[in-house]
Amino acid sequence: MTTIKGPAIFLAQFMGDTAPFNSLDAICKWAAALGYKAIQIPTWDARLIDLQKAAESKMYADELKGKINSYGLEISELSTHLQGQLVAVNPAYDDLFDAFAPDTIKKNPKARQAWAVQQLMYAGKASQNLGLKAHATFSGALLWHTFHPWPQRPEGLVEQGFTELAKRWTPILNYFDECGVDVCYEIHPGEDLFDGITYEMFLEKVNNHPRACLLYDPSHFVLQQLDYIQYIDFYHERIKAFHVKDAEFHSTGKQGTFGGYQSWINRAGRYRSPGDGQVDFKRIFSKLAQYNYTGWAVLEWECCIKHPEDGAKEGATFINNHIIRVTEKAFDDFAGAKADENFNKQILGIS
């Protein structure tokens, strides 16, 4: 068993135009003061990292790492959630997802996809240069608009969709393998990898690629009414990253899992700050420790009620209180007998 590392914090939801959220130095100082030991870096924010430079210059990567270390922090993972989304975009979402791309390639899906793939390649090499072993991202989606089959999906559509998704990701996975870094897909509504079955379908198409791993976030499973504890039993060998994010689900006579197009505050299922929702984090931390999870516990703040700064402050303490320092001995060792083969035979009644 392994003691989980933490607390860490994902910076994406905190970056802004005012201090301390507008520069790497300021936000590192802020995070360290709250008790965080690592940061997960959204690579699309140039104030935090020059992704291409981190991939092409080991010196720059070392300097970046050194600056972060100077605040008593480490990098837990780099994140390419936005870029990963653009690896696979159904045309129905072109205009919406253009917001994730540079202005020079908007309205040009092929150029946007090529840019996204290159971004992932940079992230793999940058992670290697920074000494990281896991990387957080999204899979993108070609099929999501068909998740509720009305009208009926044409025969072969799902298989063809996953074949194409695997075709796009396999070169990226191979490159990450060369870099010694796991690609951790956040299983998430809106992605083609949104639950265990879809992950398995993808895994089959990429020939069980050893780098096609998972970012575990139980909040997305609460909203789907999926057993997020048993999920760990099924996929613990592939879980290489972990978002600590809470959620709650209260169905009514008027709405359920689909939410009725309501705002987050008015949905039956909504995300909450850790400790304010329904997720059983005690069982989760126990399961992950039991299965030898060696990565970080990373706060992802997404709450429709609580202020983000309060969520961040409480989150560091929450994670600290849930990390289990694993035992190196059995609780009944005091009553144990020394190894003796003859004595064992005597107990068993064999000669």
338: pLDDT confidence band, cut at 50, 70 and 90?
A: confident
Instruction: State how far the Cα of 323 lies from the Cα of 304, in Å rounded to an integer.
Output: 26
Cα dist from 305 to 247, 263, 270, 308, whole Å: 12, 12, 10, 9
pLDDT at residue 337 is higher than 80: no
Please give the single-letter amino acid code of residue 168: R
8 Å CB contact between 44 and 328: no
Kindly report, residue by residue over 62-110, the tens digit of the pLDDT: 999 999 999 999 999 999 999 999 999 999 999 999 999 999 999 999 9
Query: What CATH code would you report for 5-348?
Result: 3.20.20.150
The kind and range of the H/E element at 314 are helix 308-322
The CA-based diameter of the chain, rounded to the nearest angstrom, is: 81
Kindly report, residue by residue over 192-225, the tens digit of the pLDDT: 999 999 999 999 999 999 999 999 999 999 999 9
Of 38-42, 154-158, 177-181, 330-334, the poorest mean pLDDT is in 330-334
Kindly report, residue by residue over 318-330, the tens digit of the pLDDT: 999 999 998 888 8
Q: Residue 223: name the closest of 187, 192, 199 by CA.
A: 187
Query: What is the CB-side half-sphere exposure of residue 335 using CA atoms within 13 A?
Result: 2
Q: Is pLDDT larger for residue 32 or for residue 340?
A: 32
Kindly report, residue by residue over 104-163, the tens digit of the pLDDT: 999 999 999 999 999 999 999 999 999 999 999 999 999 999 999 999 999 999 999 999
Instruction: State how far the Cα of 209 lies from the Cα of 316, in Å rounded to an integer.
Output: 34
Q: Is pLDDT larger for residue 335 or for residue 227?
A: 227
Confidence at residue 340, expressed as pLDDT on a 0 to 100 scale: 82
| Residue written as token pair 């970056």 | 15
69: three-class secondary structure by DSSP: helix
8 Å CB contact between 204 and 257: no
- Rounded average pLDDT over 53-63: 98
Q: Residue 297: name the closest of 81, 120, 77 by CA.
A: 77
- Rounded average pLDDT over 53-66: 98
Confidence at residue 336, expressed as pLDDT on a 0 to 100 scale: 76
Confidence at residue 298, expressed as pLDDT on a 0 to 100 scale: 98
5: three-class secondary structure by DSSP: strand
Q: What is the DSSP string of 182-241?
A: EEEEEP-TTSS--SHHHHHHHHHHTTT-TTEEEEE-THHHHHHT--HHHHHHHHTTTEEE
Confidence at residue 346, expressed as pLDDT on a 0 to 100 scale: 84
Confidence at residue 330, expressed as pLDDT on a 0 to 100 scale: 80
Dig out the tokens for 87 from the structure. Answer: 């690896």
Confidence at residue 46, expressed as pLDDT on a 0 to 100 scale: 97
Confidence at residue 175, expressed as pLDDT on a 0 to 100 scale: 98
The pTM score is 0.95
